[in-house]
C-alpha cells in the first residue's frame, strides 16, 4: 500500500463513519446531543467537508509514477521483442512539488495507530 492509497483509505473510512452516524439518527426519534464544543465542531457535515478537502489535497500531492529507463536497459530491450521490455523498466515516484510527499506524510500522521501505517511515513 502506498502512502497515497493509505491516506485515501483513511479518508474513506472517516467519510463512511460520518454517513453511518447520520443513518443511525435517521432511524430514531432521538436527536444527536452536542454536549460539548468538541461534538459541535465534529458534526457530520463538517467531517464530510473535511474529507473532501483532504481528498483534494491528496490529489494535488499525488505522485506521478514514471517509467525510468537506464541507457543499458534501453539497449538490452532493443534486442528483445516488446513483451520483454516492461520487465526491464522500473518505476519511480515523481512528486509534483518539493512539499507534496511531506504533505501526504502529515495527512497520514493522525492515522499512525492504524495497522497499515508504515513507520517510514512518519514525518
Q: Mean pLDDT per segment of 10 residues, for the chain of length 123 residues? A: 94 91 60 64 87 96 68 58 52 79 96 97 95
Q: Domain map of the chain by residue range? A: 3-62+98-121
* Helix (H) / strand (E) containing 45: helix 44-61
Q: Residue 98 burial by CB count (10 A; 0-12/13-18/19+): exposed, middle or buried?
A: exposed
pLDDT of residue 119: 97
Is the overall model pTM greater than 0.75, yes or no? no
Q: Return the number of other C-beta atoms located less than 10 Å from residue 117's C-beta.
A: 18
The C-alpha atoms of residue 59 and residue 9 are separated, in whole angstroms, by 13
- Cβ atoms within 10 A of the Cβ of 10, count? 19
Amino acid at each position: 500500500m502506498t502512502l497515497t492509497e493509505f491516506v485515501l483509505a483513511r479518508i474513506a473510512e472517516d467519510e463512511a463513519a460520518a454517513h453511518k452516524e447520520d443513518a443511525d439518527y435517521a432511524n430514531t426519534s432521538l436527536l444527536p446531543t452536542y454536549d460539548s464544543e468538541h461534538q459541535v465542531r465534529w458534526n457530520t457535515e463538517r467531517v464530510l467537508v473535511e474529507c473532501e478537502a483532504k481528498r483534494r489535497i491528496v490529489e494535488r500531492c499525488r505522485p506521478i509514477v514514471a517509467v525510468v529507463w537506464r541507457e543499458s536497459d534501453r539497449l538490452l530491450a532493443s534486442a528483445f521483442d516488446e513483451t520483454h521490455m516492461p520487465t526491464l523498466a522500473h518505476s519511480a515516484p515523481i512528486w509534483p512539488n518539493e512539499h507534496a510527499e511531506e504533505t501526504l506524510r502529515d495527512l497520514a500522521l493522525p492515522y499512525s495507530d492504524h495497522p497499515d501505517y508504515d513507520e517510514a511515513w512518519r514525518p
